[in-house]
Structure 1
Amino acid sequence: MTEVVQSRDVPWATAEFGLDLVHGDSSLGHAVPDLVIPGLRRNPRRAHLLVSTVLGKHVPTEPSVVIGAADDLGDLVRTTLGEGVDVVVLGFAETATGLGHCVAARLRAHCYLHSTRRDVPGATTLAGFEEGHSHATSHLMQPTSAELFENDLPLVLVDDEISTGATAIDAIRALHGQCPRSRYVVASLVDMRTEEHRAASEAAATELGVRIDYVSLASGSTVLPDGLTERVTALDAPDLNPIGHRRGTLSRMDLPWPAQVPDGGRHGFLDGDTAAFESAVEAAVSILGSSIDASRAVIVIGHEELMYLPLRIAAGLESSGRAVRYQTTTRSPAYVVDVPGYPLRRGFTFPAPELGENEPRYVYNAQWPDAAVDALALLVVDEPADTDRLTAMDGVIEVLRNSGTDVLVATVRGADPSALRESRAGGSS
């Protein structure tokens, strides 16, 4: 079980706005205030943000902590379903693409797939669903073939937090219409549903004639004070893209990757892909390890939905004794303020590097917990993100360098959905 570190200070958003996260229950000894910290969003649809301390998204986190929390969650799923039960796992984009893969790995799942907001040319969309409170609502399901999902194995849906359960239910409805099955498990780091939300989930299960179980590291409730949305949306725009005392350096390298090995779960990751994936990760870690000063702290930054591979690279570097943290970029605009007790102390915004994407992207903190530590930012991107927009003057590389951060860009080349599809069509899935 992952060690729980008890919180000592009142979060800034609680002290200033009354936004509070209250612990309810946990079968593993986790506590809601230790798993999530209240953050803010200047969004009239939802002004609060639960910033995870164990996910590695907004906050640079030890890779071992991220994997440990996911392993705990996977163990809860196994306890719910029973030993030896094979499963299919779905992770929600973008936040839980890595978390879902970790859970799938823990369960040795038959197949892992994450929803995606990147509409890959030539890919077939199996199903789609919407996320009502999100700024980027459309989720696409694009496995290499529908057969990866067309079975009656229990489906485990993984998200970082369950606020209402509506997204999970919408996904279950969409997938159940495409491929009916009898049992679903919704797994999350925290479950903050009200009794009304729980009743709605039970009603949906009854309507569909299925069983839906929920597991989480901890459950609790969110205290949303009256007028929170108005107060937060009235705040001045945050200062983003801070400028440092010097300009950081830049270096680049390509990481070789087998064309027939998935680099994540966007098009499906089978249990049979594991051995080749592990070998490819080991090779990538070896290349990077020989290129980075062993005494230097490293923050591995994944690109948006590309969470699991950068996490595993970070874990490999960490296991060699290096000081390593892990996080990723995001589509999510959040409020940044540099005050103690708030999880988003600095932020960066930049254009999406992929062609055809027009909404801005963000990365938060991107700094060692001790700001005096001069950490290297190891930015891991896949080939579709390696464009002129990635290296533009307002791109993620340059805004990080302008803050005084040294950047090493590692591009994963060779993960080819078409080659993966052909490989699976020629073999057994």
Structure 2
Amino acid sequence: MAQRNCQLLNWNVRGLNDGARRDTVNELVRSAGAMIVCLQETKLQIVDQNTITRTFGPQFSNSFAVLPAAQTRGGVLHAVNQDFFVLTANTITATITMRADTVKWQITVVYGPQGDAAKLQFLQELRSISPPEHNRWLILGDFNLIYQAEDKNNSNLNRRLMGSFKASIDYLHLKEIKLNGRCFTWSNEQDNPTLTWIDRVLCTPEWELIFPACFLHSLSSLMSDHTPLLFQGELDHHKDSSFRFENFWNKVDGFHELVNDIWNRQVHSTLPLKRLHIKMARTAKAIKRWRKEKVGDTKLQLALVKEVLLLLELAQEARVLTAQELDLHRRLKARSVGLAVIEKSRNRQRSRITYIRCGDANTKFMPPDKAPGTDGFTGAFFKACWEIIKEDVMAALHCLFNLNSQGFEMLNSANIVLLPKKNRSLKGNRL
């Protein structure tokens, strides 16, 4: 991945107090491919590595900065993917070093206060931050301020504060990165809402030169009343079509009946290992059809929920939503949290490399919800369906125990790669 392919996510999350909300953030970080994450209004007084790992992922757990909440108000959290960046923090202003080329730049994450006097003091504090010598500086977050009339959908404006904010932007020689596709980033979520653009990404011209092809757009608000902002340096696409058993399928109505029906169909071979292979292959194929018809693609469902939410929020910027649209908007927000929990479970299954990287490559770090081989079935499948499959599994194990390996190649395969100890190593003992 190119170093300039930087994905930066900014969001006022309106609280990370419960696991479902953290799972929602985790799914968004993963699906957006975010490598730098800036959150405001976390409402967390204590943030540790466990919190970071659940909210963002283990690759963020050693590189984060926190401004604690005052009781249950405020709170800022800033984390970077340590595979790509090094974070050196001073409260909410930090220096980021890009590992690929050691280029440094400064980032400041803000959460603007309520009240006119507090906002003026906040702007003065921004002015007092010393820019770096290289002048590559990014300031972003929930400013809770606007500086032009079109940043609000009504005429209730505080022009004194607007002027002070604009003057501060000019004083710091900042420019705004254009937000594509949206006019506003916050809604009070009333039937006839007040909409404002208060979540912003500002930078110096020197910082913008690092990402000449940058693109900033908003995502659907999901659990918050603020829309997440996603900064993208470049676009990257990846698709994996291999079969993986999803552990939550065990709890879906009709799953065990499906497995029982497919597993007990006639198999003509008398070889236990071949019989097991055929039954597992049949079951995998049937589950894929069943998932498509009965469960659906939860990742696609979540993407559709996000897209419809985004369209409703865009429509709300131009007109008052109907009662049916408002009801759909509320139900989709609730639905997005449930789908995010499912996606978190799916991603946890696929994190086998994380367990190896976090410790020894032994069974302690390879829990049963991981897929042990290329067939895609996890230990959770064998445990949940044991009463159905146990006779065939035990027959195959007895066959191996008796040193009868006919058909074993169907169940097990591996690639062995020999790595040279020295340059131009051609002999086997040097590999």
Please report the TM-score for the alignment, with normalisation by the length of structure 2: 0.30
Please report the TM-score for the alignment, with normalisation by the length of structure 1: 0.30
Which of 1 and 2 has higher RCO (CA within 8 Å, sep 6+)?
1
